[in-house]
A = this chain, B = another copy of it.
Amino acid sequence: MIGGGPGAFIGGVHRIAATMDGEIELVCGAFSSDPEKSKQAGEQLNLQPQRVYGSYKEMIRVENDLPLDQRMDIVSIVTPNNVHFEPARLALENGFHVVLDKPLSFDWKEGKKLQEIAKKSQMLFCLTHTYTGYPMVKEARQQVLSGKFGPIRKIYVDYPQGWLSNLLEAANSGHSSRKQATWRTDPAQSGIAGAMGDIGTHAFNLAEYVSGLTVKKICADINTVVQGRKLDDDGTVLLKFDSGASGFLYATQIAAGEENNTRIRVYGEKGGVEWQQDMANTLIVKWFEKPAEIYRTGTPYVSSFAQHNTRVPAGHPEGYLEAFANLYRNFALCIKAKMKGIEPQPEWLDYPGVDEGVRGMMFIEKVIESGNSQKKWIELE
């Protein structure tokens, strides 16, 4: 693991997610750019001292020299966006599989380069778009792709948060989430986008993942609502898809009182689906002039994709950590398949990778461009 030292949020999530199913073990780490802090983190995690490194470069070099059956297999990178490309490149080029927290990179150009490197390396690559790990999001995608709703017409994605309603990142804010806020609102670490990079990319990925369609044009209203903030904290984006479908996504971090209730609704000619994170184990399936249906995780009637990504029987709620763990589990299953030279099952292959990452970086570039433009529609690519 690279990053995820003291005070980090997503590092701990990755550690729980990676090890939940017993497929992956944490064996080494470079948890901070400060070697002392890295060492402390390693101790807390009960790692062997010699495998806690002072920098990711050192880690990749030393691990690379270990015998094949002893060295790490996967590098998890959970650093701010400006420290995505270099460690990922190094890991891939040294023959390690990579799990990278989204968004892919600091900017689109970097992302494209990383895509090439990944393809060339033949290493596997996972980008943690968590929402695609939920069994009922997978169920939604399977039902939409089955064609049962007819041609898709509308896609709406909501991503409301309220935690940045104040200037948490201010030096004197004293808020427990200050560290989280600081790098996310700093252009030097985050890139050109704030909310759009942090959660807008999730919404965008969800729209394309569930619908199976590709966004072609966008028109964005992008705002920095809290005075003194350096990046956007709010935005709404009109979407046009390649198939002719349309919709919107919005992502805001200043909707005071909202937590993280990501929601997607997709409508075809005959019906559609609705999923929201606050009812993560439920998928509402709607029909024109017929009763809506309530699909649930852990039941015998859902698709193999939903079943494969569930651990407990119906009525035992699984949540965010399990969705995250599904990404790691499928990634590990694919790596093991590769090692054994067997064909991975379609359910295992269903995790987001570098291509989705490049789409996300394209979205970031274009959504900020659109926000600044008087032109109505901006093409993606």
List 21 A-B pairs, Cβ < 8 Å.
Answer: A20-B321, A22-B45, A153-B234, A154-B254, A154-B255, A156-B250, A221-B248, A248-B250, A256-B288, A257-B271, A257-B287, A257-B288, A258-B286, A259-B314, A279-B279, A290-B301, A291-B293, A291-B295, A293-B294, A318-B321, A319-B322
- Cβ-closest chain B residue relative to A222: B246
Task: State which of A96-104, A114-122, A345-353, A371-379 sits at the interface with chain B.
Answer: A371-379
Most chain B CB within a 10 A radius of its CB, from A256, A280, A292 = A256
Copies in the complex: 4
Assuming the A-B contacts A246-B223, A317-B319, are A292 and B252 also in contact, with contact meaning beta carbons closer than 8 angstroms in the complex?
A: no
Most chain B CB within a 10 A radius of its CB, from A13, A162, A271, A284 = A162
Residues 237-278 of A, flagged 1 when their CB comes within 8 A of B and 0 if not, give 010100000111010101111111100010111111000011
Question: Are B312 and A225 in contact, with the CB atoms below 8 A?
Answer: no
Question: Are B267 and A248 in contact, with the CB atoms below 8 A?
Answer: no
Instruction: Indicate whether A316 reaches chain B with its CB closer than 8 angstroms.
Output: yes
Question: Are B272 and A255 in contact, with the CB atoms below 8 A?
Answer: yes
Residues 168-183 of A, flagged 1 when their CB comes within 8 A of B and 0 if not, give 0000000011000000
Question: Are B320 and A225 in contact, with the CB atoms below 8 A?
Answer: no
A residues with a Cβ closer than 8 A to B are 9, 12-13, 15-16, 19-22, 45-46, 149, 153-154, 156, 161-163, 165-166, 176-177, 219, 221, 223, 225, 234, 236, 238, 240, 246-248, 250, 252, 254-261, 265, 267-272, 277-281, 284-296, 298-301, 311-322, 373-377
- A314 CA / B240 CA spacing, docked (Å): 30
Most chain B CB within a 10 A radius of its CB, from A165, A272, A280 = A165
Q: Which residues of B contact A312 (CB under 8 A)?
A: 9, 13, 320-321
Could you tell me the distance in whole angstroms from the C-beta of A378 to the nearest C-beta in chain B?
A: 10
Could you tell me the distance in whole angstroms from the C-beta of A381 to the nearest C-beta in chain B?
A: 20
Question: Are B9 and A22 in contact, with the CB atoms below 8 A?
Answer: no
- A252 CA / B296 CA spacing, docked (Å): 20
Q: Which residues of B contact A240 (CB under 8 A)?
A: 221
Q: Which residues of B contact A256 (CB under 8 A)?
A: 149, 153, 267-272, 286-288
Q: Which residues of B contact A299 (CB under 8 A)?
A: 289, 291
Question: Are A286 and B260 in contact, with the CB atoms below 8 A?
Answer: no
Q: Which residues of B contact A293 (CB under 8 A)?
A: 291-294
Q: Which residues of B contact A163 (CB under 8 A)?
A: 313
Q: Which residues of B contact A270 (CB under 8 A)?
A: 165, 256
Most chain B CB within a 10 A radius of its CB, from A163, A281, A300, A321 = A321
Could you tell me the distance in whole angstroms from the C-beta of A73 to the nearest C-beta in chain B?
A: 14
Q: Which residues of B contact A373 (CB under 8 A)?
A: 376
Question: Are A260 and B292 in contact, with the CB atoms below 8 A?
Answer: no
Other A-B pairs, 19, CB within 8 Å; known A149-B256, A165-B270, A257-B286: A16-B20, A16-B21, A20-B321, A153-B255, A156-B250, A165-B269, A236-B247, A256-B269, A256-B286, A257-B267, A258-B315, A259-B296, A259-B298, A277-B315, A278-B281, A289-B301, A312-B321, A316-B321, A376-B376
Q: Which residues of B contact A153 (CB under 8 A)?
A: 225, 234, 254-256
Question: Are A280 and B19 in contact, with the CB atoms below 8 A?
Answer: no
